[in-house]
Structure formats: structure tokens, C-alpha cells
Amino acid sequence: MQLSEKHISKILLIAIVLVTLAKLSLIGEGFMTFPDEARYMPSGKVLENLAHFDIKEAAANLNKTQGRPGETLIKTIPSALQYASAELFSMETYESANSYPLFLFNFTVYCLILLQLYNIAKLLLKDKVLALFSVLLYCCLINGYIYIRHTLPYDCSLLVMSYVLLQVLKTTKNNTFSTKKMLLLGSIAFFGYVVYPGYVLLFGLVFIILITNKLTKSNLLQRIKYGMFYTAGSIICLLLFELIARIGDTSYIQDSITLSKTITQGNFEEGFSFLFKYLYNVESVNGIIISIGLLLFVGILIYNVFIGRKVTDIHLLFIVTAILFLLYASNGYFFHKMIWYGRLLHQFFFVLTIITAYAFGYISQNISYKKIVPSSISGIAIVTFIINLIEYKSYAYPKDIVWEIEKTTSYNNLKEACEHSDGWSVMDYIHSKHQPVTTADTIVLVNGCYFYPLEDIESYNPYITNKNEKLILAKPYFINFKAYQYEGYTIKARQNIDSLQLKIKVYTTK
């Protein structure tokens, strides 16, 4: 029996749900792994300050995240839930076992992003099967879910920005502009920027689409007018957060200027190649699918322009994205100002999946191929996702190991050993309320550290055990996972990480 488009849509939807639910298996690990995750703590402080009606200190703590006060504000929600669960179950607020509220919050945001991306894809592709296909591709990408374990601002900002992009696309398509709407959308878009300023390119993309999509000579003045109201809305949001910062004797604007000068960890020479390296080395087969889709789309676009066809909204989205990408890459490659990270690519991955779906849909317009191509690629993407997920789950995080030790083992002495001089301890603020059931004279924790920058492999000093030490745990160190290596590490550092294959080890002595 030949499947209809309705049946294919249902199958794709079921696949999306199952792939999404599979990510619940990531719960309980990775919390507070990165130094940047310490920015989560001011959210809890804001709640404490507000509980004591200390508005000035609350405003100060809101701006202790280096230009991300919107993220601090949003994360008061999971922070409040973590405070409550810690009290209810007699746990420390920031221990790994109490990370469930934060993970479920992140998972909810992730699901809302998928819903938003489907709406954008359906609007642009005008085809339910291709829209679902693009969402499934996004679901299967490591970049789509790598941050779900961590308390980082990237998905929250993407959710806000994608909402504004959807509204802008609808408004420009249907010509439903109004002063109130533009002021509101401008304010919301800037709030997305305040959540994570690294998505300034997506912020700019939305504004350019607002001005240029469906632009004609007759509506040029109208677009300029409403573009000004949109800008005014953004300025109002900016002034509001600057006012709050001033109440706390800080400055949001000054923090943002300082932060903009810190995107320099990595290699400037990867400005133009970073995306393709990431797709190949991190996303593997799914990255190759995206790369093929990207090349096909470029070819289709050139062909359409050559034969004189009108540029559509999806063509425009790609053109603007490509221009912004090239400008950013040039700023790094030629002027050594900015560097790509995986988290900065994150803002554009949904565009890549949509244009990939468009490209494969375009070359398979025959009704038979239209069913076979998305179905076959979806199967490949899902298998790749499963392989990547299993690998991802095999890695361990230092803080999780330390919390487990604190919870299960009573010891007289803790000895730490980092096998590279570029490591520092993760033992800060770790103290447990639990009553351990196992005792040991000494615990030796090897590589319970965070390593950066790892530029010098000669500084590697493997731990040599003593005769009375017993190995009770050995797990691959999380940074061996390729996706993490593309978050600020240089080419040399990535080579060193692959060479060292660090492990977290725990020894005991009696």
C-alpha cells in the first residue's frame, strides 16, 4: 500500500515526538559543568533579595551575569523550583541530584522551540511534510540539544527570537502592520538579545527581514515608518534594563560593551570554515546531509535568479543569513575581532534545516520521490541521532562524580589530581547534606577538574597510582565529546584533547 502525504506527516510527527522524548534520558547530568554556568546563581540571589524587599540588591544581582540580565530574570523560575525541591528532599540547591527542575525547564523551552520552528517552516515551505521533515532534522542534530543539560542562555534567547521572526514573517506576508505591534515586537526582540547578546546576528536578521520581505516601491515608506517603531520598541527595552541596572549601581550598556570584546577564544582563521568543520566533525552524517542541502539550495537559488524567477521569502531568509554569516566571519578572519563557537552557530541551525528541507523537496517534486526522499533521509537522521545520543551518554562530568562521592562515601582525606596543568578544581561550593553509607580512608579523584585551554600537550602528567589504591570508577571525560570541543577551544587544543582521551577516575584506600 502506497503511503499518502497524510500518513507520512503522521509518521514524521511520531518520529519527532519519540526523538524528543529520548532526550529525557539525558536528565540528571552535566549541571554546572562550565564556568559560565555560575551565572545561574544570581537568579537565586534575586529571589532572596525580593523575598526581603531589597530592590537595590535584586537589581544588582540581576546584572551580575555580564550583559545577560534577561537570562537571570528567566532563570528565576527553575531556580525557585530548585530551592523548593532542595528543601523538600534535604538536598543542596546546586547538587547534581537537584538539577531535575532546571533540566525540565530547559526541556520545556526546547519543545516550545520545536513548535516555533515548525510554524516558521510551514509558513516558508508551504508544505506540512517538508515542515515536519525540517523539524525532525533539527531534533536529530546534536547542536539542537547539546545545551539542554546545562544552565545556559542560548535556547531561551532562541525561543524569544524565533517567536519574533515568526511574527515578522506573518506581518510582512499579510501586511498586518500596526504601531502597537511593532513597538511590542521590537521590545520582545531586544529582550531576546538581553537574554543572550551573542545572538545579535539573529536580532539583526529579524530586523532586516522586517524591512525587506515583500518590499516594493509602494510600501517602502511604510516599512521605514514601522521599522522606526520597531527600533523604538527595542530602545524602550534597552532603557528599561539600563534603568534597573542603575538602581543596582551598575550599567547594562557598559557590561554589554565589555562583553563584546571577549569573543576571542579559538582560532580566527576558522572564520569561514568553522561551520563546515562543525557539521562534519560534530554532526557527522547529519552534518553531511545539511551540507548537501546547503549546496543544493545555493544551486537552486542561482538557477532561479538566472531564469528570472522572483526571490521568495525563504530565499531572502537564506540570503540575509548568508550575508550576516560572511560579515561575522570576515570580522574574525581579517580583523581578528570575533570567533565562531558552537553556541553562536546555534542561532542559525534552524535556518539550515529549513533550507535543507526546501532543497530536497525541490529536487524531488515528482510525487513518488517527494515521499521517498524525506522518508529515507529521516531514517538516516534518526539512526545517526541514536548513535550520537548513546555516545553522548557515555561521558561523565567532574561535578557529577564529586557529588556522587559526597553522597555515598565518608572519607578522612580527599586527594585531587589533574593530569594536565591547565586544570582547576570543581570542588567549590560542594558540600553534602547526605549521610554516606560507605567509608574510605582516602579518596583520590583524578581529573575532577575543568580543563582549559589545553594548548600544550607537554604539560600532561598521567597519574601514577600507589599500591594500596583501588580503582572504583573510570569514565571518559566529557570534553572528549566533539560538540564540547567547539566551544572556545583552538584547533591545537582539539587535537590535544583527541590525543589525550582524558578519563575521570576515582581510587580509594583503606
Cell representation of residue 312: 521568495
**Category of 308 on φ-ψ map: left (φ > 0), alpha (ψ -120 to 50) or beta:** left
Radius of gyration of the chain (CA): 24
**Any idea of the CA torsion for 446, 152, 197, 185, to the nearest 10 degrees?**
170
Q: Per residue in 194-240, pLDDT tens?
A: 999 999 999 999 999 999 999 999 999 999 999 999 999 999 999 99
Q: Provide mean pLDDT across the span 88-116.
A: 95
1 band by pLDDT with thresholds 50, 70 and 90:
very low
| Percentage above 70 pLDDT, the chain | 96
> Does residue 404 carry a pLDDT above 50?
yes
Q: Decide if pLDDT at 125 tops 80.
A: yes
Q: Does residue 431 have a pLDDT over 70?
A: no
* Mean pLDDT in residue range 173-182: 96
Residue 175 Rama label (left phi>0; alpha psi -120 to 50; beta): left
- Write the pLDDT tens digit of every residue in 38-50: 999 999 999 999 9
Look at residue 102 in the predicted model and tell me its pLDDT.
97
Lowest mean pLDDT among 146-160, 182-196, 273-287, 360-374: 360-374
- CA-CA distance, 139 to 153, in Å (whole number)? 19
| The predicted structure's pLDDT at residue 413 | 86
- Given a cut of 70, whether residue 106 has pLDDT beyond it is yes
Q: Is the Cα dihedral 286, 381, 169, 147 positive or negative?
A: negative
Other C-beta atoms closer than 10 Å to the C-beta of 471 total: 12
pLDDT on residue 368 = 63
